[in-house]
């Protein structure tokens, strides 16, 4: 069961990180609004994985409480967090191919006017061959001198690390807190919002608006495509720092924080 949970967390992070390619696909095709509308299709993978992962996490917690293996549960959660980071790492490796793939889907959508029909084109051997040919021409590795970080705020990248780390541990910290406080487990598991709330605020007020502004600047020729591509690489790299390192650091503090609030509410 643990490996299934790890797979779902890997899928969640991979799909969320891969969606970053939609900004660049929109710029390449000149269909930025259309490209961002495709985010819901990518988000569907994340939501489906969440839907299947949530009850499995609950079973994992229940089993740990019944057997008294709370420390083992913590180690399992850390393994799940690590697998999520692997999804982010794979996403940054696949970014050049994701851009090509989404660009092609957007162009097919423009031809057909229908998302299902655009996706059905993937069943054609000729279209598969076309995409593979485009993949072959992709430059997989960018040299350091190929990046253009001019005008990209460092603060916004720093906040993205924090946002990703908090989102990564929020639910699992509340579940781990509930395992420690079995009598108040329902209360603890409902308090993930007091951790995730900070990430939501930072994402809504700092990260998303800045990324959107930089993308719009490129659309109006005030920035280069390479500048936006460099921003996306920075965002994905910061996701890795957040999910691979910072999330492991804040996992226990977030758990203690939720435990403290839970005990305070029950006084």
Q: Look up the pTM and report it.
A: 0.94
Q: Are 179 and 261 in contact (CB under 8 A)?
A: no
Percentage of residues of the chain with pLDDT beyond 70: 100
Looking at the chain, the whole-number percentage of residues with pLDDT higher than 90 is 81
Residue 264 to residues 104, 169, 173, 183, 233: CA-CA distances in angstroms?
54, 21, 17, 14, 42
State the average pLDDT over residues 231-254.
97
* Percent of the chain that is helix, strand, coil (3-state, to 5): 85, 0, 15
Question: Which candidate, 240, 259, 266, 267, places its Cα nearest to that of 194?
Answer: 259
Check residue 33 and give its pLDDT. Answer: 85
pLDDT (tens digit, 9 = 90+) per residue, 118-172?
989 988 899 999 999 999 888 877 888 889 999 999 999 999 999 999 999 999 9
Give tens-digit pLDDT for 182-229: 999 999 999 999 999 999 999 999 999 999 999 999 988 899 999 999
Q: Are residues 90 and 14 in contact, defined by beta-carbon separation less than 8 angstroms?
A: yes
Q: Is 168 exposed, middle or buried (0-12, 13-18, 19+ CB in 10 A)?
A: buried
Number of Cβ within 10 Å of residue 101's Cβ equals 18
């Amino acid at each position: 069961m643990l490996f299934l949970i790890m797979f779902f967390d890997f899928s969640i992070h991979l799909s969320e990180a891969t969606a970053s390619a939609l900004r660049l696909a929109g710029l390449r095709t000149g269909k930025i609004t259309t490209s961002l509308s495709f985010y819901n299709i990518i988000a569907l993978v994340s939501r489906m994985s969440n839907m299947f992962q949530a009850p499995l996490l609950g079973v994992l917690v229940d089993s740990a409480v019944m057997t008294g293996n709370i420390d083992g549960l913590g180690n399992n959660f850390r393994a799940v967090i690590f697998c999520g980071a692997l999804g982010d790492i794979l996403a940054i490796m696949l970014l050049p191919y994701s851009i090509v793939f989404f660009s092609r889907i957007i162009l097919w959508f423009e031809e057909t006017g229908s998302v299902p029909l655009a996706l059905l084109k993937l069943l054609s051997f000729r279209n598969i061959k076309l995409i593979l040919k485009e993949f072959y021409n992709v430059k997989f590795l960018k040299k350091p001198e190929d990046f253009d970080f001019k005008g990209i705020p460092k603060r916004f990248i720093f906040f993205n690390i924090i946002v990703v780390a908090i989102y990564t541990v929020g639910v699992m910290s509340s579940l781990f807190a509930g395992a420690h406080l079995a009598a108040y487990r329902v209360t603890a598991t409902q308090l993930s919002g007091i951790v995730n709330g900070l990430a939501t605020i930072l994402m809504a007020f700092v990260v998303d608006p800045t990324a959107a502004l930089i993308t719009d600047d490129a659309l109006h020729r005030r920035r280069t495509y390479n500048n936006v591509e460099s921003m996306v690489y920075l965002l994905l790299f910061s996701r890795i720092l957040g999910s691979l390192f910072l999330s492991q650091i804040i996992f226990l503090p977030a758990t203690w924080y939720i435990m403290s609030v839970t005990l305070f509410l029950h006084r």
